[in-house]
Amino acid sequence: MDEIRVLIVDDHAMVRQGLRTFLTLSEGIEVVGEAANGLEAVEQARQYQPDIVLMDLVMPQLDGIEATRRIRALSPKTQVLALTSFIDDEKVFTAIEAGALGYLLKDVSPDDLVEAIKAAHRGEAQLHPEVTKKLMGQVIARAKQAEAAPHQPSKAGAKDLTERELEVLRLIATGSSNREIAQTLTIAEKTVKTHVSNILSKLHLADRTQAAIYALQKGLGPEK
């Protein structure tokens, strides 16, 4: 079995060294590089094509969330695990929307982190228990909102979207920004904004996060 190739991204050298030390000693894992900021992370991800990126979120030059978006756009096969000290709602949901497969805190034990890396390599989402609680809270809140507004029309299906809108929806599901979608499809960013607006309107969705979740639930994620 090939080793899982891991890129470590953190702006603190001691954190990177600590992660490298025990990951290097872990069976089945190879550390292929380290990056001290988001820009370095994107460049090294492009160069080394790692299987897993351990991504700090708060860094100079380019934060981990934007770096995650760029890496996922460059290499959809590379999975990103956010590894951070922060657990506020904004960072959790923004990181997941950007394409992170997991969200872990730096207090995770070495053994648990190794298992999370292996699970992410299998495509399994990895979430810190506190993050899971927050996500479940959001699901419950949305369910209650739906119950309180039964008169709202049911969501339209993907059949109501044009072929171009479906392409945009698939890219939203990867965490791509409007600019990245425009570059991928070779269209104007203003045109992308129009498509996104149309998608949200047709599917009766509130925002891009809901659109990404809808796409994945309906099997409309990035094409293999």
Distance CA 118, CA 94 (A): 23
DSSP symbol at 3: P
- Residue ranges per structural domain of the chain: 4-134, 153-217
The one-letter code for the residue type at 20 is R
Distance CA 110, CA 62 (A): 27
Predicted local distance difference test score (pLDDT) of residue 224: 46
Asked whether this chain's domains 4-134 and 153-217 adopt the same fold, the reply is no
Q: In the CATH hierarchy, which top-level class contains the domain 153-217?
A: mainly alpha
**pTM of the predicted model, to two decimals?**
0.62
Question: Per mean pLDDT, which range of 4-8, 28-32, 42-46, 141-145 is the poorest?
Answer: 141-145
Superfamily per CATH, domain 4-134: Response regulator (3.40.50.2300)
Per-residue pLDDT tens digits for 35-92: 999 999 999 999 999 999 999 999 988 999 999 999 999 998 999 999 988 776 567 7
Distance CA 116, CA 222 (A): 23
Per-residue pLDDT tens digits for 148-205: 554 443 444 677 889 999 999 988 877 778 888 999 999 999 999 999 999 988 888 8
CB 70 within 8 A of CB 182: no
